[in-house]
Structure 1
Amino acid sequence: MKKIFIDRNEKFLRIAFREQDILKELFFQQNGQPYPGEVYKGIVKNIVPAIKSVFIDIGENKNVYMYLDNRLKNSKLKKGQEILVQVIKEDLGKKGARVSNCINIPGKYCVLNNTGKGIEFSKKIIDNEFKKNIIHNLHIPDGMGIMIRTLGHEASSSTIKMEFDSLYEIYKKIIIKNEYSLKSGLIFAGDGIIGKILRDKLQDDNFMIYVHNEDDYEKIKGHLEQYNYNINNIEFYSGNRNIFDYYNIENEILSLRNKRVYLKCGGYIVIDKTEAMYVIDVNSGKNVKGSSMEHTVFTTNLQAAQEIVRQIRLRNLSGIILIDFIDMDKQENKSQILELLRKGFFDDKNKTLVYQFTELNLVQIARKRFGRSIYDSIEEKCKCCRGSGNRIKFSYISMLIKNEIERINEEGIIQNIHIEIGNTYKRDIEKNTQYFLNSIGSKHKNIYLTYSHTEYFKVEPLVFSNQIDEFKEFKLNK
């Protein structure tokens, strides 16, 4: 069974996807930053012909950029000109988000766009009779286009037409709002990452969704009703603890910071990030029980391939990924490894290509980027290391501390809390102590804070008076 867990707080929206109780994918969205699918009214700020790019102010902290392309009729833009754009890639580091003047409004069965290309079909749809039926029954307004998604093959032409009409009404409202907006800013938020997950992951009633935000609950319930899913497949979580903490997802997320991942056979893989690519090394480790060297190597590589697919999708790795498998001589074994890798990415919405083995037993994977990797989502450069190392983001570790305090509260009302945290966060906390106290939800509590060389943190209740006396000089909210 598929299980989807949705956690929303004041800083993050996080979604975890489990299948057969194994964590398969994670999706992060940081509040207050442009996200793919959002539509903005912008003003052209700068045009750089040398890199065929235009930089646009959309009313956010960073300017976004767009590639100039004659096919999209955007190559004759002028400085100061207003333009309607849609985010197609999140910002990353100092680089702003990437946008396009091609507006796409996705549904479950089709995607509306303003390219004027008429009716197009997913490459996975090869049924010519279906295509003829859609072309005959679906009439698209001038200047508009529609892409029939793979799942659209299972729907009738009337169902697709109904969805297209609904999407077209949304598009017309976007155009009207843009015309009446006097300044740059968000025009259409869409249904964001939650809508994408519902469209991509739900295909039958074999799922459960767990959510703790009332607005999200109502919107998801409406989606399930619209597409005739069983509305009993959504459960509202009303506990005080963070939903990821309650279902033990938080620890699994933190474990993804580890470079080494062990396999059942005793072998392991090591995942490293370089400036240009990700490199994954496969090692036999303690797997020495096979009847022959070839069998041992193949078993290790086979399990490694399965785990590599899971880790790439779970960590949302993209770009060039180079895998160094243990050397194999038999072409048949190599073919099975490649088949396993390709099968693992078959339903991946991020376009992924798996190339043949090289002479050095290396396999290259090219994966299109959508969203941030797990490292970009939860890590930041450590200033104590002059930027040479990484730490958990201060905002993220504050959220984790808040989770621990809420967990302690479940066991009874505790007034005094001791927090031990790494020295790398000392400057951030002392810069704005009240902000830190608010972010960990410490209202009406006495917080005693000490620093150590630990990478993470520790939260413990102070129950006895001698414990409180021991830490009284470290009390924050005096």
Structure 2
Amino acid sequence: MEEVFIERQNDILRIVLRNNGKLKECFIEEESDEPCPGEIYKGIVKNIVPSIKSAFIDIGFKKNAYMYIHGKFGNTSIKNGDELLVEIMKEPLGEKGPKVTNQISIPGRYAVIITSNNNLNFSKKLGDNEEFIQYIKQNIEKPSDVGVMIRTNSLNVEIEDINKEITQLYQHYKKIVKEDAYSIKPKLLYNGGGTLGRVLIDILSENTEKVIVNTERDYNYIKEFISRKSDINLQVELYLEKQSLFSYYNIEKEILCLRNNKVVLPSGGNIIIDKTEAMYVIDVNSAKNTKEISIDKTVLSTNTEAAEEIAGQIMMRNLGGIILIDFIDINNYEDKKKIIKILKRGFRDDKKKTVIYPFTKLNLVQIARKRRGKSIYDYIEEECGICKGKGNRIKLSYLNNLIKNEIIKISNACKINDIYIEIDEIYEKDILGDVLQFIKEIDALDKKIYINFMSNLEYFKVEALIFASQIRKFENLKIYG
């Protein structure tokens, strides 16, 4: 059974997919005015740099977007001052503006309108379903001036549903083109329902039984969304309690566990996931795997277990770009094929484009996975000031939200005014530097707060001080109230 949890809080949208109670995928995006992947803009070419084969385009954002110029994109004849329809491929990062393309796509659940060609195209996952492909070719109602990509979800619905969605998507496209023609300045023309709309298209399936949201706006949006999809039959619940949705359903703990770079395998082996500036590196170790009677069998069993786990970890952590896996040295060609097959099977339901390359001579496997949004690390972690940026810590703002939920949980159980908190000493300077701001963020203006700053504390602890003896014991730790 699959369940989807959607929580909006302080301009952060978090979406989690659970399968049989276990975290499967996690999306975290900041709701901001910055361009997001999938959005379509009217742009004006401001500068062309032939040496890097790029055009820089004003889309109304503070930084110009950049677009690669290549014959396959049909954009080699553009010049300064040209007006273009462009789609965001990557959000702005650091000093870089957003990456865009002039090849527009408007995705639906069953089909996608595309401008890169004028053909009827099919998802690669439909490649071996020749009977279905022929049926679609004979019955599809395709607009003459754009291409259409048929998605795998179309297998579960009638041709009327597919044609109806294509008509709706084409109407969106014509509206975009019309607004572009009448607009003078660069501007946003289409956002596809924002982050929520884009994620819902991919994450909901016939296996999804329930969606739980914490805002009425999202509740209404999802009800409207599923009313138009004949292959989706699920329950939508609105959660409006004071304790956060993710805290109530214990999802916070699951997300925090994803910070751990070490994942232990059933056999006793492990994988280590590290982030470098250019890529993610995953190291596979046999560690305590001593179940097999030979080294070769130990290596194979550890590597196959790792391959099964790695796909899930990449999807849960929303890792993208280049991912390099260092498997334990293995020489047997058939064993290598088996491991690659397991990896590919793990990404079978992944909606992001993922390419898995064969083993190199050094027993490395490279994965290229399309980036969509940021990884969980970008939202949970920040540089640690104490170690001068050499390590990361949980963001204090993120931690404050978790503490607030624990205080709410305590307050719901009993009327207690004295709250004791244990937290790592790396946060001491930030908290004591602005105590009132900290108290506001943990929603404890009506409480008395006692904090014990401790060394090497991995997470935190929040407890109610019930007895007078406890309060006297921690009196010297009181920072507020």
- The normalised TM-score by structure 2 is 0.86
Decide whether aligned partners of structure 1 residues 416 and 189 sit closer, same or farther in structure 2, where only a CA change above 3 A counts.
farther
* CA-atom RMSD in angstroms: 3.2
Corresponding residue for residue 99 of structure 2: 98
Q: Does 1:65 align with 2:69?
A: no
* Percent identity (aligned): 48
Corresponding residue for residue 15 of structure 1: 15
Decide whether aligned partners of structure 1 residues 255 and 140 sit closer, same or farther in structure 2, where only a CA change above 3 A counts.
same
Decide whether aligned partners of structure 1 residues 229 and 71 sit closer, same or farther in structure 2, where only a CA change above 3 A counts.
closer
**What pairs with 1:34-183 in structure 2 (closer than 5 Å)?**
34-60=35-61, 62-75=63-76, 77=78, 83-115=84-116, 117-126=118-127, 127=129, 130-131=132-133, 133-138=135-140, 140-141=142-143, 143-178=145-180
In terms of mean alpha carbon deviation, does 324-333 or 267-276 score higher?
324-333
The alpha-carbon deviation at position 236 of structure 1 amounts to 2.4
Q: Does 1:3 align with 2:3?
A: yes
2: distance between equivalents of 1:53 and 1:345? 32
Corresponding residue for residue 313 of structure 1: 315
**What pairs with 1:361-440 in structure 2 (closer than 5 Å)?**
361-425=363-427, 435-440=437-442
Q: Does 1:271 align with 2:262?
A: no
The alpha-carbon deviation at position 30 of structure 1 amounts to 0.8
Q: Does 1:28 align with 2:28?
A: yes
The alpha-carbon deviation at position 238 of structure 1 amounts to 3.2
2: distance between equivalents of 1:426 and 1:49? 51
SS at match of 2:247: helix
2: distance between equivalents of 1:202 and 1:472? 52
The alpha-carbon deviation at position 294 of structure 1 amounts to 2.9
Decide whether aligned partners of structure 1 residues 192 and 11 sit closer, same or farther in structure 2, where only a CA change above 3 A counts.
same
2: distance between equivalents of 1:399 and 1:45? 43
AA aligned opposite 1:165:
T
Decide whether aligned partners of structure 1 residues 82 and 25 sit closer, same or farther in structure 2, where only a CA change above 3 A counts.
same
Instruction: In structure 1, list runs of 5 or more residues that go unmatched.
Output: none
**What pairs with 1:337-356 in structure 2 (closer than 5 Å)?**
337-356=339-358
**Per-residue CA distance 1:253-297 (angstroms, 9 max, x = gap):** 111111211111122111222333322222222222323333333
The alpha-carbon deviation at position 156 of structure 1 amounts to 4.0
The alpha-carbon deviation at position 112 of structure 1 amounts to 1.3
Q: Is contact 1:116-1:143 (8 Å) kept?
A: no
The alpha-carbon deviation at position 148 of structure 1 amounts to 1.6
The alpha-carbon deviation at position 179 of structure 1 amounts to 5.2
The alpha-carbon deviation at position 163 of structure 1 amounts to 0.8
Q: Is contact 2:118-2:144 (8 Å) kept?
A: no
Q: Is contact 2:452-2:477 (8 Å) kept?
A: no
SS at match of 2:125: coil
Corresponding residue for residue 282 of structure 2: 280
Q: Is contact 1:90-1:372 (8 Å) kept?
A: no
In terms of mean alpha carbon deviation, does 103-112 or 167-176 score higher?
167-176
Decide whether aligned partners of structure 1 residues 450 and 292 sit closer, same or farther in structure 2, where only a CA change above 3 A counts.
closer
SS at match of 2:124: coil
In terms of mean alpha carbon deviation, does 303-312 or 206-215 score higher?
206-215
Corresponding residue for residue 216 of structure 1: 218
Q: Is contact 2:273-2:281 (8 Å) kept?
A: yes
Decide whether aligned partners of structure 1 residues 428 and 167 sit closer, same or farther in structure 2, where only a CA change above 3 A counts.
farther
**What pairs with 1:178-327 in structure 2 (closer than 5 Å)?**
178=180, 184-228=186-230, 232-327=234-329
The alpha-carbon deviation at position 106 of structure 1 amounts to 0.9
AA aligned opposite 1:273:
K
2: distance between equivalents of 1:465 and 1:20? 44
Decide whether aligned partners of structure 1 residues 227 and 405 sit closer, same or farther in structure 2, where only a CA change above 3 A counts.
same
**Per-residue CA distance 1:344-397 (angstroms, 9 max, x = gap):** 112222222323334443333232322222222322223333322222234322
Decide whether aligned partners of structure 1 residues 56 and 463 sit closer, same or farther in structure 2, where only a CA change above 3 A counts.
farther
1: distance between equivalents of 2:465 and 2:62? 42
Corresponding residue for residue 479 of structure 2: 475
Q: Is contact 1:212-1:238 (8 Å) kept?
A: yes
Q: Does 1:459 align with 2:437?
A: no
Instruction: Give the aligned length.
Output: 477
2: distance between equivalents of 1:57 and 1:451? 49
- The normalised TM-score by structure 1 is 0.87
2: distance between equivalents of 1:142 and 1:111? 14
Decide whether aligned partners of structure 1 residues 295 and 72 sit closer, same or farther in structure 2, where only a CA change above 3 A counts.
closer
Q: Is contact 1:65-1:96 (8 Å) kept?
A: yes
Decide whether aligned partners of structure 1 residues 439 and 11 sit closer, same or farther in structure 2, where only a CA change above 3 A counts.
farther
Q: Is contact 2:211-2:234 (8 Å) kept?
A: no
In terms of mean alpha carbon deviation, does 268-277 or 121-130 score higher?
121-130
**Per-residue CA distance 1:193-238 (angstroms, 9 max, x = gap):** 3333432233325532222221111111222221135655222223
Decide whether aligned partners of structure 1 residues 432 and 81 sit closer, same or farther in structure 2, where only a CA change above 3 A counts.
farther
**Per-residue CA distance 1:408-440 (angstroms, 9 max, x = gap):** 222234444444544544565577665544443
In terms of mean alpha carbon deviation, does 364-373 or 326-335 score higher?
326-335
The alpha-carbon deviation at position 330 of structure 1 amounts to 4.0
Instruction: In structure 2, list runs of 5 or more residues that go unmatched.
Output: none
AA aligned opposite 2:38:
G
Decide whether aligned partners of structure 1 residues 128 and 432 sit closer, same or farther in structure 2, where only a CA change above 3 A counts.
same
